[in-house]
Amino acid sequence: MEHKKTIKNHNQHKIKNEIQELEKLIPLVTESTDILKKLGAESIAQFEFSINETSGFVKASLSAEAYGFENEYSRLLELEKLIDSKLLPANLTSSNKLKSSLTKEIEVKHIEYFTEDELKLKETLDKVISIYNQLPLVDRKNIGYGREYNLVYNPFSELK
């Protein structure tokens, strides 16, 4: 039996922060994509493989230097470290904005749901609160909390 999950917390602050962090990476991703297009590759790994295959070297940095691409290659590596696989070109629209599917995924990630035990406890406490609130104000004054947070008669109550 599947039940509907009840939302406990929708953390807007975390959602906003994560989206802002990704938006800061957009210029870096577009720069990386532009450099890769200029080099005729779709990824750094593809560029490294093709340039090593062409040059016969084993180390991509030597191959890039031999063909005059050392600046582009070093910038690509720097961008890769800055981006740290947090954002991919596939996550951007053609106008270089975050795709709505990515923002939706971030929102879903930061939603917290009640557990079964919490829902049962909440239901019990709601009943207790409802019963207590049904008492007239005069009668409510007869009840208080003890040192261990249990309900007890007020020390001044005449009903003890």
Residues 23-60 pLDDT 10s: 999 999 999 999 999 999 999 999 999 999 999 999 99
Position 3 scores a pLDDT of 61
**Cα–Cα–Cα angle for 82, 88, 60, rounded to 5 degrees:** 60
Q: How far apart are CA 77 and CA 75, in angstroms?
A: 5
Residue 111 in this model has a pLDDT that exceeds 70:
yes
In a domain, 2, yes or no: no
Alpha carbon 26 to chain centroid, angstroms: 17
Range of the domain at 122: 116-153
Q: How far apart are CA 57 and CA 61, in angstroms?
A: 9
Residues 50-90 pLDDT 10s: 999 999 999 999 999 999 999 999 999 999 999 999 999 99
Q: Identify the domain boundary among 83, 98, 113.
A: 113
* Count of CB atoms situated within 10 Å of the CB of 111: 13
* Count of CB atoms situated within 10 Å of the CB of 45: 10
Residues 133-160 have a mean pLDDT of 88
Domain count, the chain: 2
Q: Are residues 28 and 105 in the same domain?
A: yes
In a domain, 160, yes or no: no
